[in-house]
């Protein structure tokens, strides 16, 4: 026993020395690891400056492996991915550390820029709207308005109503069809139910047109200054000009003078107007004969309609639908939720198709998944493409990707639509999917191919 006591203290001292050495080693390794991460970040920044993105990606990835919480490493890796066109990876790197309930302002600003560069305007607008809720900073209101104007800058040059069609050709509005209520914009055949203008002719629009729309027997034109005009039926006050009439009248009436209208949509007897500040306005059956703001929605980023159904997409990603047939409209309570986490959508006589924030595609008319696409639990399908916008007539679907390429999905699979030019808008009109190009020309999907259409 005495011998054991004699050697106990030296043994304890040795054990303590060993423990201290282990602790010191761990501390040195930790310091060394942090230093190594910093070195990788420094090298990554150097490769970024030299435009050597593959090496930059490698360096920033190594830094994140050593220090997963490094904001600088994640920002650098995201920048490198974005420079190579890998927008999905660029976003994922930052979203992995973003708190959806308490978002970081700097990360959110970076994500908004990534989605803007990818031409995913819907997602960018949603993120900037979150920044507005977070900070109430004027710069984000301005940024959102700029995004809205750019997203809606594409022209709609073809529209069809109950018995009239409108087109923009060579900078002028043309029309054809019946003119019983003045929906052609002219006095030709006004009030005559037997009169029909079979060829497109000047609609005598007095301004410079940007887009055309039809809702029932009411025709609308959005001019190049951001103001809305109308002609035709106004029996429910859907023109929002403080009066209603059943008498046929010819000529165009200017409905707004504020220069901030981005889009219009309508159903028989009812009109919706979207402004650059994301406010939604309406007139007609169920509301008033004067254009008034829709109280159901604080901020809206896209609207569309077909037939008697109108659709609204809010900046929080909620897609709503409402029906109006001129005889039954249920007010604000008539808006029904169709889907959430939506970034883009388009309406047709088949129903509505939408794109989610997770890059999957959904519809209320059902879509099968071609080879390479993955069915999701929520009923949507995940394509093997980085899609930013969709349009469909129920059988053929147009897919616009972040790199500007356009694809057609039909029963025969997914095929390239060819290099037709930069796409600025996709929509459904007159039983046809239409594509507007940057040069102002319009293509229609006919027999599985995009072909020029004129009016």
Domains of the chain, by residue range, sit at 17-97, 158-452
| Per-residue pLDDT reduced to its tens digit, 153-193 | 999 999 999 999 999 999 999 999 999 999 999 999 999 98
Q: What percentage of the chain carries pLDDT values higher than 90?
A: 76
Burial level of 412, CB count in 10 A (0-12/13-18/19+)?
Answer: exposed
| Per-residue pLDDT reduced to its tens digit, 105-137 | 999 999 999 999 999 999 999 999 999 999 999
Higher pLDDT, 403 or 1: 403
Calpha distance 107→383 (Å, rounded): 27
Band (pLDDT 50/70/90 cuts) for residue 420 is confident
CATH classification for the domain delimited by 158-452, as one of 3.40.50.300, 3.40.50.980, 1.10.10.350, 2.130.10.30: 2.130.10.30
Residue pointed to by tokens 């889009």: 263
| pTM > 0.85: yes or no | yes
Residue 429 corresponds to which tokens in the numbers above? 């009109």
At residue 105, the pLDDT reads: 94
- Please tell me whether residue 430 adopts helix, strand or coil conformation: coil
Residue 209, phi-psi category: left (phi > 0), alpha (psi -120 to 50), beta (remainder): beta
Let me know if domain 17-97 sits in CATH 1.10.10.10: no
């Amino acid at each position: 026993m005495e011998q054991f006591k004699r050697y106990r203290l030296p043994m304890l001292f040795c054990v303590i020395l060993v423990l201290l050495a282990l602790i010191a080693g761990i501390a040195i390794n930790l310091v060394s690891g942090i230093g190594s991460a910093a070195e990788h970040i420094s090298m990554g920044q150097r490769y970024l400056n030299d435009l050597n993105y593959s090496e930059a990606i490698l360096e920033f990835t190594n830094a994140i492996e050593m220090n997963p919480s490094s904001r600088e490493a994640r920002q650098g890796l995201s920048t490198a991915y974005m420079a190579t066109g890998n927008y999905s990876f660029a976003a994922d790197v930052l979203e992995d550390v973003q708190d959806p309930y308490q978002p970081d302002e700097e990360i959110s600003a970076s994500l908004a820029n990534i989605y803007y560069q990818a031409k995913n305007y819907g997602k960018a607008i949603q993120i900037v709207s979150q920044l507005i809720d977070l900070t109430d900073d004027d710069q984000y209101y301005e940024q959102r308005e700029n995004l809205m104007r750019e997203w809606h800058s594409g022209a709609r040059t073809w529209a069809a109503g109950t018995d009239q069609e409108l087109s923009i050709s060579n900078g002028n509005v043309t029309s054809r069809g019946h003119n019983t209520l003045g929906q052609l914009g002219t006095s030709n055949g006004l009030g005559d139910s037997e009169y029909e203008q079979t060829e497109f002719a000047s609609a005598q629009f007095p301004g410079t047109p940007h887009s055309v729309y039809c809702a029932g027997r009411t025709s609308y034109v959005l001019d190049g200054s951001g103001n809305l005009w109308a002609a035709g039926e106004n029996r429910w006050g859907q023109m929002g000009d403080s009066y209603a009439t059943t008498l046929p009248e010819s000529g165009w009436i200017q409905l707004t003078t504020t220069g901030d209208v981005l889009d219009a949509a309508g159903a028989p007897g009812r009109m919706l107007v979207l402004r650059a500040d994301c406010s939604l306005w309406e007139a007609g059956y169920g509301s008033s004969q004067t254009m008034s703001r829709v109280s159901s929605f604080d901020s809206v980023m896209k609207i569309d309609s077909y037939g008697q159904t109108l659709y609204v997409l809010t900046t929080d990603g909620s897609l709503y639908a409402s029906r109006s047939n001129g005889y039954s409209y249920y007010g604000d309570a008539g808006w029904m939720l169709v889907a959430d986490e939506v970034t883009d959508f388009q309406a047709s006589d088949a129903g509505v198709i939408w794109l989610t924030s997770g890059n999957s595609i959904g519809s209320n008319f059902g879509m099968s998944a071609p080879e390479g696409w993955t069915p999701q639990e929520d009923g949507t399908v995940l394509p093997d493409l980085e899609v930013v916008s969709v349009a469909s007539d129920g059988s053929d679907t147009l897919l616009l990707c972040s790199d500007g390429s356009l694809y057609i999905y039909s029963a025969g699979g997914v095929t390239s639509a060819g290099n037709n030019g930069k796409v600025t808008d996709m929509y459904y009109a007159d039983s046809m999917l239409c594509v507007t190009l940057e040069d102002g020309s319009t293509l229609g999907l006919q027999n599985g191919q995009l072909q020029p259409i004129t009016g």
